[in-house]
Structure 1
Amino acid sequence: MAALVSADGAYGGPVSVATDQVAALRSAGHEVTLVAGRDAASRPDHPATRLFRARRPRADGFAGMVAPGVPAWVLRHARRYDVVHVHLTRDLVTLPAAWLADRLGVPVVVQTHGQVRAEHGRLQGVLDALWTRRLIGRSRFLALTGHEAADLQRQGVPADRVDRVVNGVPLAREVAAAPGAGPRVLFVSRLADRKRPVAFVQAAALVHAVRPDVRFELWGPDGGEAPAVDAAIAASGIAAVCARRGPTSPAGARELLAGGQLFVLPSVAEPFPMAVLEALGAGLPVVLTTETGLSAAVAEAGAGAVTDGSPQELADAVLRLLGPAAWQEAATAARELARSRYAMDVVVATLEETYRRAVTERRPG
C-alpha cells in the first residue's frame, strides 16, 4: 500500500484512511506493507512500514512533491505482492508508484479520495498525461461517493472498474465525557478556506454571548486561513476562550476528540471527512453543514446537527447539543453510527473483494 504520511497531519484524511486500512487488514491475517513518502518528523510504527523522505518545492501544495525512495522500493519489491493499493493524488510520489506497479504486471487498486477530478490546472494536466491516464485501462478504482465515481467515469474509467467503499474508523478506546464546567468545542482539520475555520470562530463568538463558560479550540495545519482565524478571534474579543492551537499528529487528533464535548466542521464540498468519523468513533456529537458526504447519515442517526453553515445556525446547534439530555442522546447515536455503518470490518470485506477482482482481471488468459 502506497501513500503519503506526515507527523503534523498536513496530508489530511487519506493518511488516517491508509493507516487504518493497513492495521485492519493485518488484523484480518493479511501481509501488508505500507510504503510512503514522509516528512522529516514521521517515524515507522510497524516493522512492515517503509517510509522514505519526501520533499516538496512549494509549501502551499503537494503536486511537485517527490520521494525517490518510494518508486525505487516499488521497482525492487512489488512483484512479491498480490496487489498494490495506492492512495493516489496528483503528486510525484504516489503516481509513479502506481505506474511502476502496473508496468511490472502487478494488479493495482487506486483510491483517489476525491483528489483526482476532471477539472485541473496545467501541472495536473501534465501529470495526467504522463501517468494518471495510463492507469485507467487496467487498474481498479475505489470511490467514496457517487459524485467521485461519476468524476472518475468522466475521465475514462469504465463504470465496472469502480467499486464503492466507505471510510471506516476504529472505535476509540477513550470516549468523550458529558459536558460539565467549561465544555470544549473542537475544530480539528486543516485551516483552509473550504473548511471555513473563520465561520467556527464567528459561531464561537455567538455562543460566548450566551454561554461564556464554553471553550473553543482550533487544531490543524495552516492551509492559508490562519491569519484570518487569528484576526477573527481578536476582532470578536474572545481570545480568552477561543484559541488556535496549531497542527497535531493523527494520533494526537484522536486523543483530542476523546477529550472534547462537541466537534464542529463548517466545511463545504467535503466528500467524506475522516475527522468527523473519528469524532463519531469517540462518541462525540458533530455539527456539520449540508455539504459533506456524512451529513445525511448524521442527521438520520441523530448523531449531532446538520446546519446551513451560517455562524448563527452553527451556534444554535452548539447551544442545543450542550444541553445534558440532547448531548447524551447524540453521543450515544454517534458511537452507534460509527460502529454499525463505518466499522473497519466492513471496509476490510470491501477491500478483499476489490483485491480479488483486480487479481482476476490481470491474470493471464
Structure 2
Amino acid sequence: MDRPTDKQIADVLAGIASVEEAKMVARWFATEAGSAYLASAFDRDAKTIGMGDEELYVPHTIPSEEVWTRIQKQIRRYRLRRILFRAAVVVIPLLLLAGMYKQLDERVSLFGETKYEEVYVPKGERMQIMFQDGSKVYINSDTYLRYPEKFGMKSREVELSGEAYFVVSPNKKRPFIVQLGGPSVQVVGTSFNVQNYPDDDKITVCLDEGKINMHLVSERQIPLQPGQRVVYDKEHDACQVISGDNVRYLSLWKENIIAFKDASLSEVITKLQRWYDVDFDVEKNVSQNLLITLISDQTILENVLLDLEKITPLKFEYDRKLKRVRVYL
C-alpha cells in the first residue's frame, strides 16, 4: 500500500486525525515498512532528548475510544489474517518524540515507570505477538511471556518460560534480550527458537539466522551460529553446542507442523500433551525410550496418532470425552 504523508502520520499519533486517516495509517503501521518507520523514529528522536527536558512531554488521551478500537481491528485484519494460530496480538507504539512530536500517550511514558504485559498461552493453543519495533514472537502452548509496553532506549528485554520462536528486528544500539530465569539470550537481529519449560532440566536454543550469545549464570558467553543449537543444563550451568539437521525440526511447530527427529517416546508424549491438552496413559510393557522420527502437517490429534501408529509398533486409543490417550502394544 502507499505510504501516508508525514502530516497524516503525525496527526494520527497526536490523536487529531479523522477516522479514515487513522484507519489508513493503522494499516500502514501493520506493514513491514510501517514497523521499520516506527522503530527508526524512536531511535532517531530519542537521541535528541536531553536530561531535564522531561517537562516538554505532556500526556494526552486518544480523543475517541472508537477510533482506537477501529485501529486495533484494522491492524489485526490486515496484518494477521494469514496467521494460522488461534490468537494474535499486535502491540503498536504511541511514542511521540522530541523534534517531531511534543506529546506522549498517557499509557506510554518515556520517563515514567515501565509497565509490563503478561501473556500465558494455555495448552492446546498458540499465539503470535508483534512488538512496537517490528519484532515478532510465535508463542507455543503452555508458555508464559512477560514484556514491557514499550522497550527501553538501550535494550529490548522480555522474559520467557516455555517455548517461543523470535524474529527480531535488527538494531545494534538496542539489543534484544530474552531472560530465561537465570541465563539469557542476547541478539541484535535474528531468528531463533527457545525451549525453556520449568519442568525440563534443560534449555534448548536453536538459531536459524543471524547470531546470538547465550549468557550463562556464571557470566560466560556462548556464541551461536546459524544451524547450531545450544543445550543448557540448568543444574550445572553448563552448555553443549550441537550442529546438525535436527535444528530445523525444533521450530517447525510455528508452521503447524508436527516434527520429531530421533525423539524418545516420553519426549513425544510430553510435547503432544502440551500441544493438545490431553493426558497419556502408557502401559508398563511399552518402552519410553523408543526413538521416533516424524514430520506431519496434520493438526487433528487423531490423525497425528494414526501417523505414529504407522511408524511404530504402538497403538493409540483416544478418548475424546476424557481427553486421554491409551498407549499399548
Q: TM-score range by the shorter chain?
A: under 0.3
Structure with a larger share of its residues in strand: 2
Question: Normalization by structure 1: what TM-score?
Answer: 0.24
Report which structure shows greater RCO (CA 8 Å, sep ≥6). Answer: 1
TM-score (norm 2): 0.26
Q: Which has the higher helix share?
A: 1
- Rg (Cα) greater in structure: 2
